[in-house]
């Protein structure tokens, strides 16, 4: 039996749920959470390799700008499930994962009511009781596989990357449940994070080229698709903007993750940018805040709903935030990832306050890129407004 052991330590509050969402699993960290982010990032890497080879173009629908075709979904699932060994669930072709993972808590942990700990948690829970764990708990992640196979190391690299750029549990896209990688045994050759990402991408590209025909990947002949139909780790740019960006903002937080995290809480963002909890920042002025995720609306005191609505029930934010300390093997800082993709609703309805008429927004590739630019500029301006100084390290592309 081959085995990789990773020691983890949560740097931010951890809300993982259990048999009911508001209770916390007494083990503290669940294998299902780890498997989920591992598979998500594996799809992003394989999807990026396919997209860059002109093999992932997607299709438009009546409601959504672009989404992967049925054949493209099946191809990605097979490359991830069979070649990367993460398991496949397609009727008679189903295969179990080649990896077995389990988690051991390394210290005593007791669930606590987290609702009043952070602004983000109170927003997530709507002021209802929810259990979770404070930062600084240690866990041992064990990853085992019985037989070696060609792309096992690629899959393991993607797992480590997922743990760097994504938290686990509720609020994970905004940094809750972030996990430092404290140690890896047996130790991989010394690599910085930039090298790890590039190796994983190159190996997935080789995998895709090797198995293009095996799993039915076919070029439509159109290599000018402006956006991929799902979030992917790609080398391509659109309108001079990278389709995928991974950056580390170092020394911004001075140990305070909340400083960066609070950009995504509008009242806190306004305090830094305009010295008031109420403002019309650029995201509001340009009606681009839908880029932070949908649905995005709230009720005023008049019970009138304001914000952004669409026919789709939910569209997760394309921006991910994770927070790491100097105990992390791949460095400290705020790790921010942003993906541009076409899986947005074609129509979004914006509702302002009672003095403003609702407005229907038409979403196309240009609108997605422009919304990203507004977010990026506002985020950098916010970091400057914190007056703590920062160094930006570009990890990808």
pLDDT digits (tens, 9 = 90+) for 32-86: 999 999 999 999 999 999 999 999 999 999 999 999 999 999 999 999 999 999 9
Q: Which of 385, 8, 391 is nearest to 185 (CA)?
A: 8
pLDDT at residue 255, rounded to an integer: 59
Put residue 180 in one of left, alpha, beta given phi > 0 → left and psi -120 to 50 → alpha: beta
Whether 161 and 195 have beta carbons less than 8 Å apart is answered as: no
Helix axes 31-52, 193-211, angle to 10 degrees: 60
**What whole-number distance in Å separates Cα of residue 238 and Cα of residue 225?**
9
Q: What is the pLDDT of residue 301?
A: 47
pLDDT of residue 170: 86
Question: What pLDDT is stored for residue 125 in this prediction?
Answer: 62
Give me the half-sphere count of Cα atoms (radius 13 Å) on the Cβ side of residue 44. Answer: 29
Each residue's pLDDT tens digit, 128-149:
778 888 899 999 999 999 899 9
Task: Report yes or no: 323 and 260 within 8 Å, Cβ to Cβ.
Answer: yes
Give the 3-state secondary structure percentages of the chain, helix then strand then coil, rounded to 5. Answer: 30, 25, 45
From the CB of residue 102, how many other CB atoms can be counted at a distance below 10 Å?
12
Does residue 375 sit in helix, strand or coil? helix
pLDDT score at 205: 97
**pLDDT given for residue 194 in this prediction:** 96
Q: Which regions in the chain score pLDDT beneath 70?
A: 1, 116-127, 189, 220-225, 252-255, 298-304
- Which residues make beta-bridge pairs with 362? 347
Which secondary structure element, helix H or strand E, spans residue 392, and what is its range?
strand 391-396
**And the tokens for 85?**
């060994």
The confidence score (pLDDT) of residue 20 equals 81
Please name which of 295, 284, 246, 310 lies closest in space to residue 374, comparing C-alpha atoms: 284
376 near 262, Cβ under 8 Å?
A: no
* Distances, alpha carbon 22 to alpha carbons 16, 167, 184, 199, 270, in Å: 9, 18, 32, 39, 30
- The confidence score (pLDDT) of residue 275 equals 93
Q: Where are the domains of the chain?
A: 2-396
Q: In what order do the strands lie in the sheet with 296-299?
A: 296-299, 305-309, 347-351, 359-362
Whether pTM > 0.75 for this model: the answer is yes
């Amino acid at each position: 039996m081959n085995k990789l052991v990773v020691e983890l330590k949560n740097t931010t509050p951890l809300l993982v749920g259990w048999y009911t969402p508001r209770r916390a699993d007494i083990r503290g960290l669940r294998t299902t959470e780890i498997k989920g982010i591992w598979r998500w990032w594996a799809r992003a890497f394989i999807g990026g390799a396919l997209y860059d080879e002109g093999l992932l173009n997607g299709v438009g629908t009546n409601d959504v700008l672009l989404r992967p075709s049925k054949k493209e979904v099946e191809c990605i699932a097979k490359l991830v499930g069979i070649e990367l060994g993460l398991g496949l669930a397609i009727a008679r072709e189903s295969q179990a994962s080649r990896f077995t993972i389990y988690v051991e808590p390394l210290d005593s942990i007791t669930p606590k009511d987290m609702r009043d700990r952070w602004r983000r948690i109170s927003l997530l829970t709507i002021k209802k009781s929810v259990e979770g764990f404070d930062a600084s708990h240690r866990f041992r992640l064990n990853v085992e596989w019985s037989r070696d196979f060609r792309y096992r190391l690629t899959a393991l690299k993607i797992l480590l990357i997922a743990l760097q750029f994504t938290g686990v549990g509720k609020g994970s896209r905004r940094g809750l449940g972030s996990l430092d990688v404290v140690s890896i045994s047996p130790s991989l050759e010394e690599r910085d994070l930039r090298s790890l990402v590039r190796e994983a991408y190159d190996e997935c590209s080789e995998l895709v080229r090797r198995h293009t025909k095996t799993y039915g990947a076919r070029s439509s002949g159109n290599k000018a698709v402006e956006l991929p139909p799902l979030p992917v780790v790609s080398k391509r740019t659109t309108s001079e903007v990278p389709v995928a960006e991974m950056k580390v903002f170092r020394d911004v937080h001075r140990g305070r993750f909340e400083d960066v995290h609070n950009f995504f809480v509008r009242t806190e963002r306004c305090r830094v940018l305009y010295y008031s909890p109420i403002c019309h920042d650029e995201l509001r002025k340009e009606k681009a805040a839908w880029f932070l995720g949908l649905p995005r609306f709230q009720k005023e005191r008049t019970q009138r709903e304001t914000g952004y609505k669409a026919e789709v029930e939910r569209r997760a934010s394309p921006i991910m935030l994770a927070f790491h300390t100097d105990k992390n093997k791949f460095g400290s800082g705020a790790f921010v990832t942003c993906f541009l993709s076409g899986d947005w609703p074609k129509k979004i309805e914006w509702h302002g306050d009672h003095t403003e008429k609702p407005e229907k927004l038409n979403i196309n590739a240009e609108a997605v890129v422009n919304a990203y630019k507004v977010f990026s500029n506002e985020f950098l301006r916010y970091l400057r407004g914190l007056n703590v100084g920062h160094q930006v390290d570009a990890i990808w592309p």
